[in-house]
Copies of this chain bind each other. A is one copy, B any other.
């Protein structure tokens, strides 16, 4: 039940797939030198492995507790959080003007993977804070930025996102929390649910970002505004002052992430919580969209992270659990189960898909940096389009895989996997939230098809497909069976994705419901295809390095093997979603509601 950050794999994906050197060359990232990046990764790996990972099991078992309105976090959390603040870990990607280190999002995503793998229940407080910082940074006034960002970026205070209400989940247009103007501020009243780290004992203050409706505002999403509602109103000298009229009423009893307090928050029981408008009235939801890409990338990274954690545990178990003889050997003695073909198949499928996710996740993170800092505006816009297209894929595909891989991790353990003490089951329970929060995976598929493909008729996706074909072309002369098989996979993936994209782009115009019926299988196909492409690029790079004796041959050879396994075993069923995605619309509504 330990976690060791897979630094070699991370560095390879960072450098060879995501292009860390190109990112570091962007204006403003000059300080992200290779040495600095390496040092950050090394130190983060230590903190994740030695600090966070050992607290994960108790975080699950003991969890966060609400007592007399106070949430006590799991054992060890206040201490390790202090280490985060003292080490400056919260501040990595943020604006140096407010105390941030201004490091690339690519590096932040890599480090994020470590936190989330080591301890997802803890990692969530970092993730929510990141979202709140983003929102204030993009849309807050100069005074708001000055008052809140330094504290939040240092991690002395944390931020939360208060969106959901019982009747308003995926459909925020239905929200009812009210905000009434009262001098220089507003008075907020209403109840919010599913508020992650809505209350805790890690910091002296908590900065709630709350979506609420002003009186006489139009119905629907245009009536929603965004407010800063701090737990303690900051004094003029930046200390937590008067207690605000808000409280955590209860904690949800959840399947997983027990260490992360999921609060029911009540605002304004005593007349109204003081809230400060962010930006303009009526634009709350559009402000939320600004930070959505970063938040959804982070949740995707959580899917990758929990998969890596489950893989490490399953692999370690398979190497030590002795059971049954080796089929490939005449020896009758039982051997460790890693010698059995089906156990290997499970481990290889975990590993290959994890590498594919890591490649696509880091690639997308590098895109966020490129879109932010490329001097060529037109190139930056194109990169942003690409990021916008990839985000729903990263969020949904990674989190579906996170669940499947965590479940495979349980399976590798046999009967021990079902026993909570083993720890494999926790990863499955923790993973199960990922396809749900930050926009369900159904919402992601809808976003991919109904917005991202619809927006440009599939042009951005066709740009990626062209790059897939270019990779296949470059690989034509590469030697060996492995690269030939991998290349064939890329070609098949490009063909299927092109066909599917054309169909979707056409369908969203005239038969939206058909496109939506096929949206989830389309997303699955797209994710698997793009992951296969980046693994092929990895394998091609690895083969080049092998030829020039540049690096550890065992490590490089493994890249060829996992990419080939992926091409031959993982890709085909996903590409066979081409038929289903087109066909689903024919039958999904063929039954009346009462026939279901």
Stretch of A98-106, A127-135, A137-145, A435-443 at the chain-chain interface: A435-443
Q: Are B513 and A348 in contact (CB under 8 A)?
A: no
Complex interface residues of chain A between 570 and 596 (CB less than 8 A to chain B):
570, 572-580, 583-596
Q: Are B591 and A569 in contact (CB under 8 A)?
A: no
Q: Are B169 and A414 in contact (CB under 8 A)?
A: yes
Pick the residue among B171, B318, B414, B520 that contacts A440 (CB under 8 A). Answer: B414
Bitwise interface map of A from 470 to 495 toward B, beta carbon under 8 Å scored 1, else 0 = 00000000000000000000000000
Q: A341-B516, A403-B407 are contacts. A420–B589 as well, Cβ < 8 Å?
A: no
CA distance A343 to B174 in the complex (A): 19
With a CB–CB cut-off of 8 A, which chain B residues contact A171?
A: 323-324, 334
Closest to A407 in B: B403
With a CB–CB cut-off of 8 A, which chain B residues contact A570?
A: 580
Complex interface residues of chain A between 420 and 464 (CB less than 8 A to chain B):
420-421, 425, 428-429, 432-433, 435-437, 440-442, 445-446
Q: Are A569 and B593 in contact (CB under 8 A)?
A: no
Residue of A256, A411, A554 contacting most chain B CB atoms (<10 Å)? A411
Pick the residue among B164, B254, B517 that contacts A345 (CB under 8 A). Answer: B517
Q: Are A334 and B587 in contact (CB under 8 A)?
A: no
With a CB–CB cut-off of 8 A, which chain B residues contact A519?
A: 341-342
Q: Are B256 and A418 in contact (CB under 8 A)?
A: yes
Q: A255-B425, A415-B436, A425-B432 are contacts. A568–B587 as well, Cβ < 8 Å?
A: yes
Does any Cβ of B come within 8 Å of A561's Cβ? Answer: yes
With a CB–CB cut-off of 8 A, which chain B residues contact A564?
A: 586-587, 590
Q: Are B348 and A588 in contact (CB under 8 A)?
A: yes
Q: Are B577 and A561 in contact (CB under 8 A)?
A: no
Does any Cβ of B come within 8 Å of A499's Cβ? Answer: no
Closest to A403 in B: B407
Pick the residue among B253, B407, B421 that contacts A419 (CB under 8 A). Answer: B253
User: Which size bracket describes the interface of A in this complex?
Assistant: 35 or more
Does any Cβ of B come within 8 Å of A170's Cβ? Answer: yes
Does any Cβ of B come within 8 Å of A351's Cβ? Answer: yes
Does any Cβ of B come within 8 Å of A265's Cβ? Answer: no
Query: How many copies make up the complex?
Result: 2
CA distance A585 to B338 in the complex (A): 14
- Tell me the smallest distance from the CB of A434 to a CB of chain B, in Å: 10
- Tell me the smallest distance from the CB of A394 to a CB of chain B, in Å: 18
With a CB–CB cut-off of 8 A, which chain B residues contact A332?
A: 220
With a CB–CB cut-off of 8 A, which chain B residues contact A573?
A: 573-574, 576-577, 580
Does any Cβ of B come within 8 Å of A72's Cβ? Answer: no
CA distance A352 to B221 in the complex (A): 37
Pick the residue among B414, B569, B575 that contacts A583 (CB under 8 A). Answer: B569
Does any Cβ of B come within 8 Å of A157's Cβ? Answer: no
Does any Cβ of B come within 8 Å of A154's Cβ? Answer: no
Q: Are B344 and A588 in contact (CB under 8 A)?
A: yes
Bitwise interface map of A from 505 to 529 toward B, beta carbon under 8 Å scored 1, else 0 = 0000000110011011100000000
Pick the residue among B343, B440, B521, B574 that contacts A442 (CB under 8 A). Answer: B343
With a CB–CB cut-off of 8 A, which chain B residues contact A589?
A: 328, 341, 344
Closest to A417 in B: B436
With a CB–CB cut-off of 8 A, which chain B residues contact A591?
A: 348, 558, 561-562
Does any Cβ of B come within 8 Å of A410's Cβ? Answer: yes
Q: Are B588 and A565 in contact (CB under 8 A)?
A: yes
Q: Are B415 and A437 in contact (CB under 8 A)?
A: yes
Complex interface residues of chain A between 394 and 423 (CB less than 8 A to chain B):
403, 407, 410-411, 414-415, 417-421
> Can you pick out 19 interface pairs between chain A and chain B where the beta carbons lie within 8 Å of each other?
A169-B414, A253-B419, A328-B513, A340-B442, A341-B513, A341-B516, A341-B588, A344-B588, A344-B589, A351-B596, A410-B436, A411-B440, A418-B432, A558-B591, A561-B595, A564-B586, A568-B579, A568-B583, A569-B583
Known: A342-B446, A414-B436, A564-B590. 4 other contacts (CB 8 A): A338-B593, A340-B442, A341-B585, A347-B596
A-B pairs, 9 with minimum CB distance: A576-B576, A568-B583, A341-B516, A342-B442, A565-B587, A255-B425, A344-B588, A573-B573, A569-B580
